[in-house]
Amino acid sequence: MSQRPLRKRVMVTGGAGFLGSHLCDRLIAAGNDVLCVDNYFTGRKDNISHLLLNPRFEAMRHDITFPLYVEVDEIYNLACPASPVHYQYDPVQTTKTSVIGAINVLGLAKRTGAKVFQASTSEVYGDPEVHPQTEDYRGNVNPLGIRACYDEGKRSAETLFFDYFRQHKVKIKVARIFNTYGPRMHPNDGRVVSNFIVQALRGENITLYGDGMQTRAFCFVDDLVEGFIRLMATDGDVTGPVNLGNPYEITVHELATRVIRLTESSSEIVYRPLPQDDPMQRCPDISLAKKLLEWEPKVELDAGLGATIAYFRRLLDDQSRA
């Protein structure tokens, strides 16, 4: 009887996106065959162009709201626009991507016996009344608000993952991702790190919403991907959800001043009204990740911002020469 090759066949949905492309890099470097699936709504071919000639890498244009028939050993489901600008552009499609996309990857995992990873989000906690957020906190989400397409879509996806685990014994891993930044962020995604850096590099005013005293905790992309890999490698009785993020909390105003300092920009800070349902605090309790995965972030904020600024500087320079 022939043996299946030891090299794993790994599918990454949303693989041409910010997080997905970095994950593809890590999986390829580890010697896996990687199928990158993306509809390029927010993902970009530039993020994976360096992998296209690698014989162990394959890119497929596909919308995960439609079934996909492939043979895989592991699935990382990262398919869904993750910034308010993008997920509010077509909120119905955002919900469909989270819910129908989850049904499709879980059905594939059920058929193939693959282990399947769900990239969930800290947005399942909404505007939290518990701080920092632990995995057993059930959240404070407005199901009727403009962010609900993403928040409730991801909550429903978690429900589906755990029901497939209980009913069909599908091997699941669920991570709740907190604010992440780094090279390959979309320059127009509306998130504070990319917004501030692009505005600073262009010498424009840096826009803060509200009084700037709302807090966030920022995790560098390399640290996050390491958490993905470690969670996927855990035993079958570890399902998650597991918070993955940086517990070092700063105000949005402090982030803006750091970006101005690191870019040596002449930008000034201006204030605008706070958007609906924008959380005032967001910070993970990562005790579970430390215990189960022996994981915690390593990259200091200034170092991560420096690498991200260098990426956006190159990107803007290329755009100006085009």
- Which ranges in the chain belong to alpha helices (H)? 18-29, 84-87, 91-112, 148-168, 192-201, 221-232, 252-263, 287-293, 301-321
Strand partners, 206: 269
DSSP state of 50: G
Within 8 A by CB and 6+ apart from 72, the residues are 9, 10, 11, 35, 108, 112, 114
Question: What's the whole-model pTM score?
Answer: 0.93
Token pair, residue 56, equals 């162990």
Q: For the segment 26-42, what is each residue's pLDDT rounded down to a tens digit?
A: 999 999 999 999 999 99
Are 36 and 60 in contact by the 8 Å Cβ rule? The answer is yes
Considering the candidates 150, 164, 181, 209, report the single residue annotated as catalytic.
150
Amino acid occupying residue 208: L
The arrangement of strands across the sheet holding 33-38 comes to: 57-61, 33-38, 9-13, 74-77, 115-121, 172-177, 242-244
Q: For the segment 186-223, what is each residue's pLDDT rounded down to a tens digit?
A: 888 888 999 999 999 999 999 998 888 989 999 999 99
Are 231 and 203 in contact by the 8 Å Cβ rule? The answer is no
Are 263 and 309 in contact by the 8 Å Cβ rule? The answer is yes
Q: Assign 1 a pLDDT band (cuts: 50, 70, 90).
A: very low
Catalytic site residue 311? no
Q: For the segment 97-122, what is each residue's pLDDT rounded down to a tens digit?
A: 999 999 999 999 999 999 999 999 99
Angstrom distance (rounded) from CA 138 to CA 134: 9
Closest CA to 117 of 234, 280, 264, 287: 234
DSSP state of 294: -
Amino acid occupying residue 134: T
Instruction: Tell me what the mean pLDDT of segment 284-295 comes to.
Output: 98
Cα angle: 221, vertex 222, 226; to 5 degrees = 115
Q: What is the CATH architecture assignment of 9-317?
A: 3-Layer(aba) Sandwich (3.40)
Instruction: Tell me what the mean pLDDT of segment 249-274 comes to.
Output: 94
How far is CA 280 from each of CA 123, 251, 270, rounded to the nearest angstrom?
12, 10, 18
Instruction: Tell me what the mean pLDDT of segment 281-306 comes to.
Output: 96
Q: Looking at the predicted structure, is the pLDDT value of residue 80 above 50? A: yes
Strand partners, 220: 181
Domain ranges of the chain: 9-317
DSSP state of 146: T
Within 8 A by CB and 6+ apart from 152, the residues are 95, 141, 143
Residue 293 — φ and ψ, nearest 5°?
Answer: -110, -10
Helical packing angle, 252-263 and 192-201, nearest 10°? 30
Q: For the segment 118-145, what is each residue's pLDDT rounded down to a tens digit?
A: 999 999 999 889 989 999 999 999 999 9
Q: Looking at the predicted structure, is the pLDDT value of residue 2 above 50? A: no
Bond before 132 cis per omega within 30 degrees:
yes
Angstrom distance (rounded) from CA 117 to CA 205: 39
DSSP state of 135: T
Q: Looking at the predicted structure, is the pLDDT value of residue 59 above 70? A: yes
Which phi-psi region, left, alpha or beta, contains residue 277 (left: φ > 0; alpha: ψ -120 to 50)?
Answer: left
- Which ranges in 219-286 belong to alpha helices (H)? 221-232, 252-263
Residue 277 has a pLDDT of: 66
Angstrom distance (rounded) from CA 151 to CA 300: 28
Within 8 A by CB and 6+ apart from 297, the residues are 219, 220, 223, 245, 246, 248
